[in-house]
Structure 1
C-alpha cells in the first residue's frame, strides 16, 4: 500500500479543492472554450483544438494513472502511434485526451462509427464555386465566361497530419477497416494520400510532430471490427483495465460530493458486482451510482456518512445496470436485482 502522501487525490497535477465553486468555475471556462470550437467547426474552420480545452474535467491523477500516462507519453516521444485497448468505462478516452494535452500541441478529435469512411478521414469535395468573368473586347460586346471551381474540405486526419497535431481517434475499432487503408502510408511512409483530390497536392507530407492515440473496446464487444494486421503491426498496444480500488475512489470523489465512507461503499459494491456479473460494470457505473445515491438517499437532506441501506443500494445499482440487459425481458431484470441483492 502506498503511504498517505502518495494517495492524495490530484486533478491535472493539483490537489482537489473542496470548493465546489472552483470546480464549477473551471468547468464553465472549458464549456465556453468547447462552445467556441463548435462554432468554428460550423463556420468551416479548422477542427484543431487547444490542448488545454480537451483535458477531461475533472481528471484524477494517482500513481496508477500516472504510470499509464508515462507509458503513453514515452511511446509518443518515440514517434509511435498508440492503441489503447480495454473494457468500456475504464477511462481510456480520458487517458488519451490527457496524454494528448500534455504534448502541448493542437489536438484533433475523431469518433469512430460505421459511417466513417475514407472521405470522413481525409476530406472531400464540398460542391463547386461558380462565377462569371466578363471581357469587353469591342465596345458594346460583352463576353461572359462561366467558371466552376471545385471546393475541397479537409477532414480530421488531413488537418492533423498537416498541422502536426495529436489525433485522438476514439472508438477506432467501430469504423470499417476499409476506411483505414489511408493510415498505412501515414505511419509507414510519412505520406497521406487524399483520394478524389486532383493536382500536385493530392498527397501530403506528414508533419514531424504528428502523433496518433487510438482507443478501442476489447474484441468481444458488439460493433467492434477486426482491423487489418498490416495496420495493427504499426501500432503500440497498451491495455487499459479498471483501476485499483484506491484510484476508483479518487475518481468517484472527483465527480460526486459524497463523504469518503459513502464513496468507499459505492466503489466496494461496484467492484463486487464486477466480479460477479458477466455484464460490464465499469468505473463510469460507480460514478453514476454515486450521483444517484446523492439524490435519492435522504432526498438531498443532510445525512450521516455511511447511511446507505441495502434497499437503496439495490435500487440504485439496478437502475444503473438495467440498460445493459434492456430487451432481454422483465424476468432478467428480476434476476439482475436478485443478483445485486445477493452480492450486497
Structure 2
C-alpha cells in the first residue's frame, strides 16, 4: 500500500459516522461553496452536531464549537484581555479564531445565549463577512473557508427564546429530525456496537415514547439516548436495565411519569 493510499484509508477511518436522510449534505456543501451561513433546526439528540462534524471532515476544514448559554457574553465569543506575567495580553475567543483561520464555527443552541451577544455574528452572516472587535478597535475580515453554523431546537425553546427574524433571515436553514426506522437502527447498531436486533428493539422503544399521546415530557427519547442505552447493553447490562437507566430515568424525575414510561417499555420490549 502506498503512502497516499494509506492516508486515504486513515482519513476514511477517522470520518465521523453519519447517515443522510434527505438532501442535507448537498445543501450544506452548496452553502459552504458560497460561504453562506447555515442554521440547523431539530430536536435534541437528532444528530445536528454529528452532521456538522461530518461536513467539516468532508470539506477538510477545522471545526471550532461553542455552546450557547444564558451567561454567555460577546467576549466569550470574540475574546478578551487577560493578565499574564504582569502584562495585559489579548486572547482570541473561539469565533475570532475561526474567522482568522478560515474554520467552520459552530454555535450550538444559539437561542440560549443572550440576544445582545448573538448580534455579534450578524456582520459575519451577510455579505460583509466581517467581525468587529471593538476592544481592539479593529474589524477582522473572514479568511477564505470560514463558515458560520448555528443550531437550535424550535420545538423546545420558549417564545421568549425564539430566534430573532433579523438573525434567522441571514442563514440557509436545514431541518433535521430523528431518522427513519431503518437508518436509526443502523446508527444505533454502529455507534453502540450492538447486534441489529438489539438496536431495533431500542428504536421501537424510542418511537413508542415519541408518539405517546398526551406526553408530559419536555423532550422525547432521542437517538443519542438510544445509543447510550445500547452502549450499556454492549457492556453486559440487560436490555431492560439499560433502557431504564439511560432512557426512562434520563427523561423524567416525576415518579408517575417514570412508572408510566416503565410500563410502556415493558409493553414494547420483547420478553426475555
TM over 0.5: yes
Counterpart selection for 1:322 from 246, 249, 254: 249
Gaps of 5+ in 2: 1-7
Q: Counterpart of 1:285?
A: 225
RMSD over equivalenced CA pairs, Å: 2.7
Which has the larger displacement, 188-197 or 315-324? 315-324
Query: Structure 1 pair 107/181, CA: closer, same or farther in 2 (3 Å)?
Result: same
Show the 5 A alignment for 1:264-279: 264-276=200-212, 278=215, 279=217
Q: Counterpart of 2:98?
A: 160
Using the size of structure 2 for normalisation, the TM-score is: 0.82
Show CA shifts across 1:98-132 (max 9, x none): 112222122222222122211011111113765xx
1:296 is paired with a residue whose SS is coil
Query: Does residue 1:175 correspond to 2:102, yes or no?
Result: no
2:144 is paired with a residue whose SS is coil
Query: Does residue 1:261 correspond to 2:197, yes or no?
Result: yes
* Residues 18, 50 of structure 2: 8 Å contact kept: no
Q: Counterpart of 1:8?
A: none
* Residues 129, 151 of structure 1: 8 Å contact kept: no
Q: Counterpart of 2:40?
A: 84
Using the size of structure 1 for normalisation, the TM-score is: 0.66
* Residues 177, 226 of structure 1: 8 Å contact kept: no
Following the alignment from structure 1 to structure 2, what is the Cα–Cα distance between the partners of residues 209 and 232? 22
Query: Does residue 1:96 correspond to 2:23, yes or no?
Result: no
Gaps of 5+ in 1: 1-12, 15-21, 27-51, 131-148, 298-311
> Structure 1 runs of 4+ off > 4 angstroms?
none
Following the alignment from structure 2 to structure 1, what is the Cα–Cα distance between the partners of residues 267 and 185? 23
Following the alignment from structure 1 to structure 2, what is the Cα–Cα distance between the partners of residues 249 and 258? 10
Show the 5 A alignment for 1:189-268: 189-198=128-137, 202-221=138-157, 225-268=161-204
Q: Counterpart of 2:259?
A: 334
**Equivalenced residues, count:** 253
1:167 is paired with a residue whose SS is strand
Following the alignment from structure 1 to structure 2, what is the Cα–Cα distance between the partners of residues 222 and 116? 18
Query: Does residue 1:296 correspond to 2:237, yes or no?
Result: yes
Query: Structure 1 pair 75/274, CA: closer, same or farther in 2 (3 Å)?
Result: same
RCO comparison, higher one (Cα < 8 Å, 6+): 2
Q: CA deviation at 1:156?
A: 1.0
Counterpart selection for 2:21 from 59, 64, 67: 64
* Residues 73, 114 of structure 2: 8 Å contact kept: yes
* Residues 289, 316 of structure 1: 8 Å contact kept: yes
Following the alignment from structure 1 to structure 2, what is the Cα–Cα distance between the partners of residues 129 and 292? 47
Following the alignment from structure 1 to structure 2, what is the Cα–Cα distance between the partners of residues 259 and 169? 35
